[in-house]
Amino acid sequence: MEKLYPQSALISIRRQAMIYNCACPAQVCETISHLRQLHDYQSACLDESPMDQIVHRRIAQAVEIAHREMETCLDEILRIEGWDPVTFEMPASLQKTRALPLPPPPPA
């Protein structure tokens, strides 16, 4: 499955968006991550019976379409909001009052 955004970018965007009370990009990143997990699961199940293979392949195809659309959506959101396309840093104009300092990023 093609991926426009590495998992590390999704984590970075999600982390910043949640800290700065800007949940929409975080929700899109979370959805993309879940779709990737679902696709991985379906791909791992392809060695079952012929009927199972057909079912899992069909689910994987649908996930690929949804994943592509959600990554396109994320790309548009980041451009509209002015996120840095290389570092995936949120623009200062979107940063609202923080209750807590940014937590360290999770290990990759």
Interacting residues of 45 by C-beta distance below 8 A, sequence separation 6+: 52, 56
Residue 26 pLDDT > 70: yes
pLDDT for 46 equals: 62
The domain limits of the chain are: 7-85
Q: Could you count the other beta carbons within 10 Å of the beta carbon of residue 86? A: 7
Q: What pLDDT is stored for residue 108 in this prediction?
A: 62
Q: Which own/partner contact pairs does 78-82 have at CB distance under 8 Å and 24+ positions apart? A: 78/13, 78/25, 81/22, 81/25
Report the alpha-carbon angle 74-44-15, nearest 5: 30
The 8-class DSSP code of residue 22 comes to: -
| pLDDT tens-digit readout, 45-61 | 866 788 888 999 999 99
Predicted pLDDT at 68: 97
Q: Kindly report the pTM of this predicted structure.
A: 0.79
